[in-house]
Amino acid sequence: MTDQVRNSGQEPLPKIDTSVPHSARIWNYWLGGKDNYEVDRVAGDAFREIFPGIETGARAARYFLARAVRHLAAEEGIRQFLDIGTGLPNVDNTHQIAQRVAPDSRIVYVDNDPLVLAHARALLTSTQEGVTNYVDADLREPGTIIREAGKTLDLDQPVALMLMGILGHIEDDDEARSIVRRLVDALPSGSYLVQYDSTDTSEDYVRAIQQYNDGGSIPYILRSPEQIARYFDGLELLEPGVTSCSRWRPDAAALDLPAEVHQYGGVALKR
């Protein structure tokens, strides 16, 4: 296993298309980031006109990530994180939260988006005691992800698998569940699945997503909370189960969020 930070994507970076809105850049815009273009801000504003609660949902999802990682590192003793569908760097990324609790934590980020790859250096920072690595791979290739992650992570020891807002890009529900099963099956007992996605629990949200999908971007599929819960089949859900992200073990940072947002997620143990 490597003991130094490295980037596995050695091919020249593809040209980034700034003529079409990009989900990672729009999400970055909603979270107050600067890694976005005018086309993303226009699309983000149009989405917000139909569904004004999107920025609140984005914040709730981000805080959920932070609380889940902090809990797993501090309370469950997890020292390895496999974060697939990384997205653009923001405040308190997975490695920063985990290594703040346990400096020897090892984190592998996975994405195959050229924009994210271009920003990988911002993610590829680490404490001296730990490791942060980046794998250029597609979510639809679980075998490749596990093989490449195994060059940094010890897959005989528990791993927190993180699928944060990414499974909505898999249009077929059966395929999405199959991907989760294959990834979880490759991890040892004592591992955890951390997952959230946006839901179809608001008519306005459904209309906004339809407009977004019609705009030529990579489609995102809203699913019901019950469909999201199926991702955790065979695992032991931590309390409070699959719920609105703002309701998952809220802390002081989440006090200004509504109890109900349309991003649902959970954390579950593989026995």
Distances (CA, A) of 201 to 198, 260, 263: 9, 10, 9
pLDDT at 91: 73
pLDDT at 14: 54
pLDDT at 188: 98
pTM to 2 decimals?
A: 0.89
Boundaries of domain holding 56: 23-270
Please report whether residue 241 resides in a domain. Answer: yes
Using alpha carbons, select from 216, 31, 220, 15 the residue that is nearest to residue 113: 15
Query: Domain tally for the chain?
Result: 1
Query: Residue 2: what residue type?
Result: T
- DSSP assignments along 192-228, one per residue: EEEEEEEBS--HHHHHHHHHHHHTTSPP---B-HHHH
Give the position of tokens 């579950």.
268
pLDDT at 185: 98
Please report whether residue 6 resides in a domain. Answer: no
Give the position of tokens 């093989």.
147
List the pLDDT tens digit at each of the 271 positions of the chain: 333 333 344 445 456 677 788 788 888 888 888 888 898 999 899 999 999 989 999 999 999 999 999 999 999 999 999 999 887 877 789 999 999 999 999 999 999 887 777 777 777 789 999 999 999 999 999 999 999 999 999 999 999 999 999 999 999 999 999 999 999 999 999 999 999 999 999 999 999 999 989 887 789 999 999 999 999 999 999 999 999 999 999 988 777 888 899 999 999 999 9
Please report whether residue 120 resides in a domain. Answer: yes
pLDDT at 6: 38
pLDDT at 243: 97
Please report whether residue 18 resides in a domain. Answer: no
pLDDT at 139: 95
